[in-house]
Amino acid sequence: MSDEARSSVVPSSGAASSGAASSDAPSPDAPSAGASGAAAAPPVLRAEGLVKTYRGEGAPAHAVRGVDLVVRPGEFVAITGPSGAGKSTLLHLLGGLQRPDSGRIWLDGARVDGHSEARWAVLRRRRIGVVFQFFNLVSNLTVADNIELPALLAGSNARQARAERHRLLTELGLEGKERSMPGELSGGEQQRVALARALVNHPGLLLADEPTGSLDSKGTREVMRLLSDFHQRGQAILLVTHDHRLASAADRVISFFDGRVADDAVLGAKTGGGRGVAGVLELKD
Ligand SMILES: Nc1ncnc2c1ncn2[C@@H]1O[C@H](COP(=O)(O)OP(=O)(O)OP(=O)(O)O)[C@@H](O)[C@H]1O
């Protein structure tokens, strides 16, 4: 079906994600070096042939029409595109928050698309951090508890969870807010707490769905600077944003349109490196 034709998300650097993997085993076709320099390391995330159609009362919405995607360790990839293009749906499929109609997903080389809800929940606790536009903090838990809870659930003891929470809050400039409730914080502060919660278990991949979408320009700058800092220290990030200025902080920008990849540009190949937060810092209120 032409509607469901697969759109290759192979980076323009020539790194390959194609080749139908036919088993649950880690895929043998290791990507070649990308512009980000993450040579032959296995992908942190790989997806093939993802399709998602919403079927309700009216006409079906073909949100994702066949997408292949590879994210390498330490890579910062932005997915940008107009409203309704299918960006959030794609991110939700990749994080196991929604199920594809068809297609396959690997995390660190292991097939995961057939996992139960419970196994996906474990993955999101340990190996994939997720941040959303509206923070999704637990409103009746303190900042400290919001961050420590996923660490405890993942098996850290209380001392380790406290130490990790302390390290992250310091790094994120939120010292002294441990006992605050989320509702007592600004939007930018709440998103920083959400980032700490997402990163407390050192996931290989951070999925961020419009993380600055409800922030003013100051909050946006703070959050983008932090994302950039974490990326500089090796964190792989997949950022969904409709804002091209924010996308320019990434190594690679995927333009999504009508459920398909319209373009996949490795910024480093063209410019000698992503712009980092430079474009973001120019944002004005
Ligand atoms: N739960 C749902 N039920 C039915 N249709 C949906 C649902 N969620 C999304 N859609 C439809 O799927 C398509 C893709 O939506 P999606 O939210 O993934 O796009 P998006 O690019 O993230 O948009 P935005 O930038 O506005 O958030 C749209 O046509 C949307 O109306």
CA 98 to ligand 1 center in whole angstroms: 12
On whether both 55 and 178 belong to a single domain, the answer is: no
CA 261 to ligand 1 center in whole angstroms: 16
Please report where in the chains the tokens 């057939």 appear, as a residue. Answer: 114
Total count of domains within the chain = 2
* DSSP E strands, the chain: 45-54, 61-71, 76-80, 102-107, 110-111, 128-131, 205-209, 236-241, 252-257, 260-266
CA 255 to ligand 1 center in whole angstroms: 16
Nearest CA to ligand 1 atom 27: 83
On whether both 173 and 247 belong to a single domain, the answer is: no
Please report whether residue 62 resides in a domain: yes
Q: Which of 202, 225, 247 is the last residue of a domain?
A: 202
On whether both 107 and 216 belong to a single domain, the answer is: yes
On whether both 4 and 112 belong to a single domain, the answer is: yes
CA 63 to ligand 1 center in whole angstroms: 6
What does the pLDDT read at residue 15? 33
On whether both 110 and 149 belong to a single domain, the answer is: no
On whether both 100 and 166 belong to a single domain, the answer is: no
On whether both 211 and 193 belong to a single domain, the answer is: no
ipTM: 0.98
On whether both 86 and 147 belong to a single domain, the answer is: no
Dist. CA 246–CA 266, nearest whole Å? 15
Please report whether residue 139 resides in a domain: yes
The bridge status of strand 61-71 relative to strand 45-54 is antiparallel
Pocket test for ligand 1, best of 89, 101, 243, 261 (most atoms within 8 A of CB): 89
What does the pLDDT read at residue 40? 62
What does the pLDDT read at residue 48? 97
Atom of ligand 1 nearest to the CA of 209: 22
**Which residue range(s) make up the domain with 92?**
1-12+37-127+205-278
Please report whether residue 81 resides in a domain: yes
Pocket of ligand 1 (CB under 6 A): 54, 56, 61, 63, 81, 83-89, 242
Mean pLDDT in order along the chain per 10 residues (285 residues):
34 32 38 44 93 94 96 96 94 96 96 96 93 92 97 95 96 94 94 95 95 91 92 96 89 95 78 52 56
Note whether 125 and 70 are within 8 A (CB): no
On whether both 112 and 212 belong to a single domain, the answer is: yes
What does the pLDDT read at residue 243? 86
Nearest CA to ligand 1 atom 1: 54
Counting every residue written for the chain, the total comes to 285
Nearest CA to ligand 1 atom 12: 63
Atom of ligand 1 nearest to the CA of 92: 18
CATH number of the domain where residue 107 is located = 3.40.50.300
Q: Which of 202, 231, 247 is the last residue of a domain?
A: 202
On whether both 154 and 272 belong to a single domain, the answer is: no
